[in-house]
Amino acid sequence: MLVGAFIGLFKNDLKALLAYSTVSHLGLITMLLGFGTPMAAVVAVFHIINHATFKAPLFMVAGIIDHEAHTRDIRRLGGLRHLMPLTFGIASIAALSMAGIPPLNGFISKEMMLEEAAHTDWLGSAWLVPGLATLGALISAAYSFRFIAHVFLGPPRHDYPARPHDPPIGFWIAPAVLVILVVAIGLQPALVAGPLVALASGAVIGEAPPAYTLKLWHGFTPALLMSAIAIAGGLVVLAAYRALNRLWLRGPRLEAKSIFDAILDRLVGWAVSLTRALHDGAMTRYTAIFMATVVLAGTGAWLGGAGPGVAREFLPIGPVPAIGGLLLLVATGCIVAFHHNRLLALIFIGVIGLIVSLAFAYLSAPDLALTQASVEVVTIILLLLALNFLPKSTPRESSGGRRLRDGILASLVGLGAGLLTFQIQASNFSQASISAYHLANAKPGGGGTNVVNVILVDFRGFDTFGEIIVLGIAALVIYALTETLLAGAVGRRLAVRPPDTGEAGDSHPLMMVIATRVMMPITLMVALFIFLRGHNQPGGGFIAGLVVAIALIMQYMASGFDWAAARQKYPYHGIIAAGIFAALLTGLGSLVLGYPFLTSSYGYFKLPFIEKFELATAMAFDAGVFLCVVGAVMLALESLSRLAHRRGERPSPYPMDIDPSRTAQTEKA
Q: What is the 3-state secondary structure (H, E, C) of 28-95?
A: HHHHHHHHCCHHHHHHHHHHHHHHHHHHHHHHHHHHHHHHHHCCCEHHHCCCHHHHCHHHHHHHHHHH
Helix (H, G, I), strand (E, B) or coil at 497: coil
Measure the CA–CA gap between 352 and 379, rounded to whole angstroms.
13
**Paired strand residues for 603:** 615
8 A C-beta contact, residue 107 and residue 149? no
Q: Identity (one letter) of the amino acid at 425?
A: Q
Measure the CA–CA gap between 369 and 516, rounded to whole angstroms.
24
8 A C-beta contact, residue 155 and residue 106? no
Q: Give the per-residue pLDDT at 29.
A: 95
H or E segment to which residue 548 belongs:
helix 541-559
SS3 sequence, 452-488? HHHHHHHHCHHHHHHHHHHHHHHHHHHHHHHHHHHHC
Give the Cα-Cα-Cα angle 447, 450, 454 (nearest 5 degrees): 60
Over residues 304-356, the pLDDT tens digits come to 876 666 677 788 888 989 999 999 999 999 988 888 888 888 999 999 999 99
Q: What is the pTM of this model?
A: 0.58
DSSP assignment of 342-386: HHHHHHHHHHHHHHHHHHHHHTT-HHHHHHHHHHHHHHHHHHHHH
Q: Give the per-residue pLDDT at 536.
A: 87
Among 388-397, 429-438, 547-556, which range has the highest average pLDDT?
A: 547-556
Over residues 385-418, the pLDDT tens digits come to 778 777 777 777 778 888 888 889 999 999 989 8
33 or 303, which is more confident: 33
Over residues 165-217, the pLDDT tens digits come to 999 999 999 999 999 999 999 999 988 888 899 999 999 998 888 888 888 88
Parallel/antiparallel/unpaired status of strands 602-605 and 613-616 = antiparallel
* Least-confidence region, from 185-189, 607-611, 642-646: 642-646
**What rounded mean pLDDT belongs to the chain?**
87
**Paired strand residues for 629:** none
Burial 474-490, CB ≥16 within 10 A → b, else e: ebbebbeebeebbeeee
Q: Give the per-residue pLDDT at 339.
A: 84
Percentage of the chain beyond pLDDT 90 is: 46
Q: Give the per-residue pLDDT at 596.
A: 86
Q: Give the per-residue pLDDT at 361.
A: 92
Q: Give the per-residue pLDDT at 149.
A: 94
Has residue 125 got a pLDDT over 90? no
Measure the CA–CA gap between 21 and 44, rounded to whole angstroms.
16
Measure the CA–CA gap between 92 and 312, rounded to whole angstroms.
84
Max CA pair span of the chain = 134
**Paired strand residues for 341:** 393
* Distance from the first to the final alpha carbon of the chain: 109
Has residue 618 got a pLDDT over 60? yes
Measure the CA–CA gap between 118 and 134, rounded to whole angstroms.
10
